[in-house]
Amino acid sequence: MRAALQRPSSVKAAQWASSRALSGEPTAPAMKTECPGPKSKAVMADLDSLQSMKSVQFAVDYNKSLGNYIVDADGNTMLDVFTNISSIPIGYNHPALLNAFNTPEKMATLVNRPALGVYPGQDWPQMMRDVLMSVAPKGLENGHITTMMCGSCSNENAFKMMYFKYMEKVRGGRDFTEEEMVSCMTNQAPGTPQLSILSFDGGFHGRTAAVLSCTHSKAIHKLDVPLFDWPCADFPRYKYPLEENSKENQAEDQRCLAQVEEILEARTKMGNPVVGVIVEPIQSEGGDHHGSNAWFQGLQKICAKHDIVYLMDEVQTGGGPTGKLWAHEHFDLDGAPDVVTFSKKMLTGGFYNKPELSPKLSYRIFNTWVGDPGKLILLDAVLKAIKSENLLDNTVQAGNVLLSGLKEAQTKYPGLIMNARGLGTFCAIDADTSARRDQILMDLRKEGVNCGGCGPNTIRLRPALIFEPRHAHIFLDKLNTVLGKY
């Protein structure tokens, strides 16, 4: 992880701002009522009569939300550094997205949603080539791409490729036997093998059965759900500041890598071998835990040694928030991971994979829609805006301001907040307790900042790619105002 760079001068910050600001975007937060206010509470009560969704925090007026500011049903205008759980790539109501369906052909793509696995449009291969393959992770430019609906189904279907690869090696290229085809219909061996996926403590990969088996961030996600008995290894937990604890953190890397080796050997001996590893570049739900370049490189070497699949889950980190389109490209890996999954800021789910992993028979990776061409039209607009507006550079600049400011705040308020860390604007800091973290988030909202938490006591920042140094200064001013009250 890199150290924070020098904060940009006010002149340079103004230059960045003028080139990316959306016309009409508010210049500062403005709170009219508490949040949630009376109108939000009425919407929440109405919603509660229709579905159980106790997670709702407030109702949003998406017509009035703009750029980096979210407006709730009561007219409160808040600087949004959470952006719908990091899923708004270039801000609210960006002109590039509002104008995306500006031809009859694009509108036809939107309204005629195809079953892509059976009846793709004649332009579908070129759409994927022009949009998704144009930003394929380095090393996967000549690989395959599969679109999906969300992060969970992206990871879930990527797991199936892991199983297929392993079992094809076991069969040695022969066809399925009659016994295998009959037994799999009742979930019995030999057609249903015992195989495992290795994941990491603190990881989050989705809410369907297999990926939930690999999710270890909060108990509430998993309680009462029958899941697979799959192994979980330790993800490194570093001491901060990193530069003062390099020896201890290197030892932590080695401990965690050795544990992975031990698990792989043990699972093979028990007849339930690990066929792949899934890992996030940054554990985004579990507490924004980072791993070093050396740790990710070591994990890749272990996967290669044991001939198992290395899956990088970029659902939260992909799309640019770390300053690179793909966070794992910070790690100087020896070639690309075998599979890279994505969603959120990429506006569609899906995964890139090395061609040798792709299934050789039809319907093995399949659902009715297998993605949505309309989302690629939106993503195309996002990617063009990222390029034309230099939004990755902007994200690095804004992230430098954020991380520098978080480090200053933890020095100013020792014992309250600590462990400032981040890549790009994908930044986080820990509070001393869970209760304190929750209070900080509530008080930030009173000050007109919508922020989020993760893990037991972490404050996480997930702004849009158009979040500039000037927005970072607004956030830091509000954070210091809140911390100064304790």
Which of 103, 368, 411, 433 does the annotation list as catalytic?
A: 368
State the DSSP string of 180-232: HHHHGGGT-TTTS---EEEEETT----SSHHHHHT--S-GGGTTT-------E
* Residue 123 bears catalytic tag: no
Three-class SS state of 397: helix
**Check whether domain 112-386 has CATH 1.25.40.80, yes or no:** no
Structure tokens at 28: 């500062």
Average pLDDT, the chain: 95
CB of 441 within 8 A of CB of 462? Answer: no
Summarised one tens digit per residue, pLDDT across range 328-360 is 999 999 999 999 999 999 999 999 999 999 999
The pLDDT value recorded for residue 6 is 32
Known catalytic membership, residue 296: no
Which entry of 253, 288, 313, 380 is annotated as an active-site residue?
A: 313
Stretch 234-247: mean pLDDT, rounded? 97
Is residue 332 within 8 Å of 299, Cβ to Cβ? no
Q: Which helix (H) or strand (E) holds 293?
A: helix 293-306
What's residue 168's pLDDT? 97
Mean pLDDT within 435-440: 98
CATH of 390-486, one of 3.40.50.10790, 3.30.70.260, 3.90.1150.10, 1.10.287.110: 3.90.1150.10
* CA–CA gap between residue 302 and residue 319 (Å, rounded): 27
Residue 11 scores a pLDDT above 90: no
Query: From the candidates 58, 101, 159, 204, which is the catalytic residue?
Result: 204
The DSSP secondary structure of 105-125, one letter per residue, reads HHHHHHHS---TTTS--TTHH
pLDDT of residue 14: 39
Mean pLDDT of 192-197: 98
Distant-in-sequence, close-in-space partners of 337: CB < 8 Å, separation ≥ 6: 137, 300, 310, 311, 312, 328
- How many other CB atoms are there within 10 angstroms of residue 232's CB atom? 16
Residues 6 or more apart whose CB falls under 8 angstroms from that of 393 comprise none
At 4 the pLDDT is 32
What DSSP letter does each residue of 423-482 carry, written as one string? ETTEEEEEESSHHHHHHHHHHHHHTTEE-EEETTTEEE----TT--HHHHHHHHHHHHHH
The b-or-e profile of 122-159 (16+ CB within 10 A means b, else e) is eebeebbeebbbebbbebbeebbbbbbbbbbbbbbbbb
* Mean pLDDT, rounded, for 31-53: 97
pLDDT (0 to 100) of residue 109: 96
| Active-site position among 344, 345, 354, 375 | 344
Interacting residues of 7 by C-beta distance below 8 A, sequence separation 6+: 400, 401, 404, 469
Query: For residue range 107-146, what is the model confidence (pLDDT) as tens digits?
Result: 999 999 999 999 999 999 999 999 999 999 999 999 999 9
Let me know if 368 is a catalytic residue. Answer: yes
Question: What integer pLDDT is reported at residue 429 of this predicted model?
Answer: 98
pTM of the predicted model as reported, rounded to 2 decimal places: 0.94
Q: If pLDDT is split at 50, 70 and 90, which confidence band does 12 have?
A: very low
Beta carbons within 10 angstroms of residue 485's beta carbon:
8
- Nearest to 94, CA basis, from 13, 29, 26, 20: 20
Catalytic site residue 432? no
In the chain, ranges of CATH 3.90.1150.10 domains = 390-486
**Residue 278 belongs to what H/E stretch?**
strand 274-279
pLDDT at position 18: 44
Banded pLDDT at 479 (limits 50, 70, 90) = very high
Question: pLDDT digits over 410-421, tens only?
Answer: 999 999 999 999
| Backbone angles phi and psi of 381, in degrees to 5 | -65, -40
* Res 20: pLDDT: 67
